């Protein structure tokens, strides 16, 4: 049995946190492959090393002296090394980084050094082999991740070692230059490694004990989620739940590898299991609630719209022409509404409206801004009657006006549109009706 363990920046922010991580890894011999992030914040006023690296490289691009900033970064790593009483030095590594910065190695290279250096320390601390993603994780010339080539090379490389540390967040392009995933991409690296070694589980260690039914910034002490399916996670992540990078799901999902979200500071907590499918019934009808603010609804009306073949395509072509993606498209007999991100739409609104008129000849087009979308997600909704009715009842009782409701054919989620000002109130009301009344 093999487990891949990924640790986030807060789990590796200091020597004290490193020691916790070391204890976790050594407590289970199945934890053979470790994916570290760059050091995160040690306190609320601290700065993440990745952000320090971005700031340092900004000085490089401005042709300004960056040595003071780079030395501050080195001090962060030295404090970890000294705190762990390790007999190693990163002097040579920082000399190389300084030289590469002078040669304008690129912003991706700069950002990746956080994980790279933390990986060297972790490998030394655990006595594991260090495997550089610059030799095993690949991107094409457009910056797209090459899954098949990576899996082939990485599988072969890791088969040669019993235990290894593989830094997260980066790989290499066809020109030999470092290429990074988007922020939080160490989650993706962990998933890639888990697939490559055919792991029995992928443990993602962070500073929370798994997923919660609702955002703790909105709902006080929300209940934890014990088990969630990949599909449910995808819905919640897309709508703002941010414990795990949403792209991290795909490599392990295809390989049928479960993900376990754990808390470095509370290793005794079981966390949340993310699985392909499960016969375990959820504790509540819903699994989770998530949402985002900042949407616009574009309401198109036309008599006998339902009889006009291609009407929907014509309308959506107007958004495509201006590079605007849509979120949801609820419709009626004579109406069609398109929900889009407000910041993306505002600068192009009149052009899009004009295009809709050219393509579809509607009777009217009306806009409503400052809307929020809330996703109520749960595999239990499919077998439970009256879920939508309970949502409407809770929102009506909380004096929240529903602007839109859209339910997918899978019956896995219900999307509700409300005013931005009602966002928090709506989430609390939905949580209360499904969770608190159940207790």
Domain boundary among 207, 242, 268: 207
Mean of pLDDT values over 29-46:
96
Q: Say whether pLDDT at 106 is over 80.
A: yes
DSSP label at residue 331: B
Note whether residue 188 is domain-resident.
Answer: yes
Note whether residue 35 is domain-resident.
Answer: yes
What is the secondary structure of 163-224 as a DSSP string?
A: SEE--SSEEE-TTS-EEE-STTTHHHHHHHHHHHTT-SEEEEEESSSS-BSS-TTTSSSPPB
Tell whether 201 and 294 lie within a shared domain: no
pLDDT band at 246 (very low <50, low <70, confident <90, very high): low
Tell whether 28 and 126 lie within a shared domain: yes
pLDDT band at 241 (very low <50, low <70, confident <90, very high): low
Give the CATH number of the domain where residue 103 resides: 3.40.1160.10
Domain boundary among 207, 238, 267: 207
Q: Say whether pLDDT at 364 is over 90.
A: yes
The residue ranking higher by pLDDT, 378 or 152, is 152
Tell whether 174 and 307 lie within a shared domain: no
Task: Select from 224, 228, 201 the least CA-distant residue to 6.
Answer: 201
CA distance 328 to 71: 49
User: Could you tell me the pTM of the whole model?
Assistant: 0.83
Q: Say whether pLDDT at 86 is over 90.
A: yes
Counting residues of the chain whose pLDDT is more than 90, the rounded percentage is 77
What are all long-range contacts of 326-335, with beta carbons under 8 Å and residues at least 24 apart? 327/295, 327/373, 328/373, 328/404, 328/406, 328/415, 328/417, 330/404, 330/405, 330/406, 333/305, 333/306, 334/301, 334/302, 334/303, 334/304, 334/305, 334/306, 335/299, 335/300, 335/301, 335/305
Over the chain, what is the mean pLDDT? 92
Q: Say whether pLDDT at 357 is over 70.
A: yes
Give the CATH number of the domain where residue 330 resides: 3.30.2130.10
Tell whether 46 and 177 lie within a shared domain: yes
Which helix (H) or strand (E) segment holds residue 274: the answer is strand 272-275
Counting residues of the chain whose pLDDT is more than 70, the rounded percentage is 97
Tell whether 423 and 322 lie within a shared domain: yes
Output Rg (C-alpha) for the chain, integer angstroms.
24
Task: Select from 405, 397, 403, 395 the least CA-distant residue to 366.
Answer: 403
Note whether residue 417 is domain-resident.
Answer: yes
Domain boundary among 207, 231, 256: 207
Q: Say whether pLDDT at 44 is over 80.
A: yes
Total domain count, the chain: 2
List the structure tokens of 260.
């376990």
Helix (H, G, I), strand (E, B) or coil at 265: coil
Q: How many residues in the chain?
A: 439
pLDDT value of residue 243: 67
Note whether residue 307 is domain-resident.
Answer: yes
CA distance 7 to 122: 11
Q: Say whether pLDDT at 125 is over 80.
A: yes
* Domain encompassing residue 203: 3-207
Mean of pLDDT values over 231-238:
80
DSSP label at residue 418: E
pLDDT value of residue 282: 77
Tell whether 189 and 69 lie within a shared domain: yes
The residue ranking higher by pLDDT, 282 or 318, is 318
Cα→Cα distances 392→143, 222, 280, 403, 416, Å: 44, 21, 27, 11, 10
Tell whether 203 and 292 lie within a shared domain: no
Phi, psi of 435 (to 5 degrees): -110, -55
Tell whether 199 and 294 lie within a shared domain: no
């Amino acid at each position: 049995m093999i487990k891949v363990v990924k640790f986030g920046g807060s789990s590796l922010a200091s020597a004290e946190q490193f020691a916790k991580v070391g204890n976790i890894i050594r407590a289970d011999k199945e934890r053979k492959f470790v994916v570290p992030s760059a050091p995160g914040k040690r306190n609320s006023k601290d700065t993440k090393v990745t952000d320090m690296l971005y700031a340092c490289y900004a000085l490089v691009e401005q042709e300004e002296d960056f040595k003071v900033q780079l030395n501050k970064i080195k001090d962060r790593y030295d404090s970890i090394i000294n705190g762990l009483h390790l007999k190693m030095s990163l002097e040579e590594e920082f000399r190389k980084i300084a030289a590469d910065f002078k040669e304008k190695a690129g912003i991706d290279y700069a950002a990746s050094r956080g994980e790279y250096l933390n990986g060297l320390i972790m490998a030394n601390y655990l006595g594991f082999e260090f495997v550089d993603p610059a030799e095993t994780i690949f991107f094409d010339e457009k910056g797209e991740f090459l899954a098949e080539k990576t899996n082939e090379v990485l599988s072969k490389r890791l088969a040669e070692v019993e235990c290894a540390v593989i830094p997260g967040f980066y790989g290499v392009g066809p020109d030999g230059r470092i290429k990074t995933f988007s922020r939080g991409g160490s989650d993706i690296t962990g998933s890639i490694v888990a697939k490559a070694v055919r792991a029995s589980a992928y443990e993602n260690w962070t500073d929370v004990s798994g997923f919660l039914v609702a955002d703790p910034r909105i709902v006080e002490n929300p209940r934890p989620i014990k088990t969630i399916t990949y599909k449910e996670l995808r819905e919640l992540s897309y709508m703002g739940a941010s414990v795990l990078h949403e792209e991290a799901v795909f490599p392990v999902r295809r390989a049928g590898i479960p993900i376990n979200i754990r808390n470095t500071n509370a290793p005794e907590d079981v966390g949340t299991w993310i699985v392909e499918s499960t016969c375990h019934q959820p504790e509540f009808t819903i699994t989770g609630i998530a949402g985002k603010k900042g949407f616009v609804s574009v309401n198109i009306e036309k008599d006998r719209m339902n009889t006009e073949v291609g009407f929907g395509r014509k309308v959506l072509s107007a958004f495509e022409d201006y590079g605007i993606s849509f979120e949801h498209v609820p419709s009626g007999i004579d109406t069609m509404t398109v929900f889009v991100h407000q910041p993306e739409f505002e600068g192009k609104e009149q052009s899009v409206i004009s295009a809709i008129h050219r393509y579809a000849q509607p009777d009217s087009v009306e806009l409503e801004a400052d809307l929020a979308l809330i996703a109520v997600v749960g595999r239990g909704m499919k077998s439970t009657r009256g879920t939508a009715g309970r949502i409407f009842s809770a929102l009506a009782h909380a004096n929240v006006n529903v602007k839109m409701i859209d339910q997918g054919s899978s019956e896995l989620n219900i999307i509700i549109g409300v005013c931005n000002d009602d966002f928090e109130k709506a989430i609390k009301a939905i949580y209360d009706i499904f969770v608190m009344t159940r207790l």
